[in-house]
Amino acid sequence: MRVLVIEDTVRIADSIKVGLELEGYAVDVEYDGENGLLAGLHEPYDIIILDVMLPGIDGISVCRQLRENDITVPILMLTARTREQDVIEGLNVGADDYLTKQFSFDILLARMRALLRRPKDFLSDERLSVDDLTMSLSSRSVKRGDVSIHLSQKEFAILEYLLRNEGKACSKNDIISHVWNFDADILPNTLEVFIAYLRAKIDKPFERPLIHTIRGFGYRVGNQL
């Protein structure tokens, strides 16, 4: 999952980035409203963490312009302001949730996970599944049937993206854009290498393959059509 953090306090922004990367997220950081808005408009993110008080364009304006341009990803706003009217203003321009500083990283992570839930994708304990393969997002564990499967952070992130798009053909570019940071140095065959790792763990030991190649395009997860 790819996250955009727009926060002008470097200490806070970098702390969020480090924490989320340890949780397996790909994270881009912008330190002002103008560059944050441009990133939000032109890059594919799964969630945006947006500070209200930013140099240049403030967070309320950034949120409003993203929504006016049909950017529908969840937006979690951060602010030092505690007035009820400030919260109402943020929600009215399209924010999905509001978190006041100082907050713990665990609270931030829980709010993010809540915003990322999609009813069609999740079971009651935050799981993604297809056939006999299940992924628990809360415990970051994967099983096929009764067999536990250990995945690296990148393998987990790739599989999560594919499971969220079960049955859909996902292009290589889309997968890379959601799993790696904007400035990551990705070689042409990097994704293919990780897909091979995943197949060795979740497909080859079992009867039915679940990861399918769309020749010349990308991959799809699900039962064979």
Same domain, 109 and 138: no
In a domain, 45, yes or no: yes
Domain boundary among 51, 85, 116: 116
Q: Which residue, of 68, 95, 116, is where some domain finishes?
A: 116
Instruction: Tell me which of 92 and 196 has the higher pLDDT.
Output: 196
Q: Which of 95, 116, 137 is the last residue of a domain?
A: 116
CB 143 within 8 A of CB 134: yes
Residue 70 shares a structural domain with residue 158? no
How crowded is the C-beta side of 107, counted as CA atoms within 13 Å? 9
Backbone angles phi, psi at 55, to 5 degrees: -70, 150
Greatest mean pLDDT range, 36-50, 98-112, 115-129:
36-50
**Domain housing 98:** 2-116
Q: Are 87 and 98 in contact (CB under 8 A)?
A: yes
Minimum mean pLDDT among 20-24, 56-60, 115-119, 153-157: which range? 115-119
In the chain, what are the helix, strand and coil shares in percent, each to the nearest 5? 40, 20, 40
* Whether residue 48 is found in the same domain as residue 94: yes
| Tens-digit pLDDT profile for residues 17-42 | 999 999 989 999 999 999 999 999 99
Q: Where residue 120 falls among pLDDT bands split at 50, 70, 90?
A: very low
Residues 48 and 135 in one domain: no
- Three-state SS letters, 148-179: EECCCHHHHHHHHHHHHCCCCCEEHHHHHHHH
Amino acid sitting at position 33: G
The pLDDT tens digits for 135-176 are 987 678 899 999 999 999 999 999 999 999 999 999 999 999
Are both 102 and 168 inside the same structural domain? no
Residue whose entry in the numeric block shows the structure tokens 């990861």:
211
List strand residue ranges (DSSP E) for the chain, in order.
2-6, 26-30, 47-51, 75-79, 97-100, 127-130, 133-136, 141-144, 147-149, 170-171, 211-214, 218-221
Asked if residue 121 belongs to a domain, the reply is: no
Look at the pTM and tell me if it is higher than 0.85. Answer: no
CATH of the domain at 89: 3.40.50.2300
Question: For residue 183, is it within any domain?
Answer: yes
Total structural domains within the chain: 2
Residue 106 lies in a domain: yes
Q: In whole angstroms, what is the distance from residue 196 CA to residue 203 CA?
A: 10
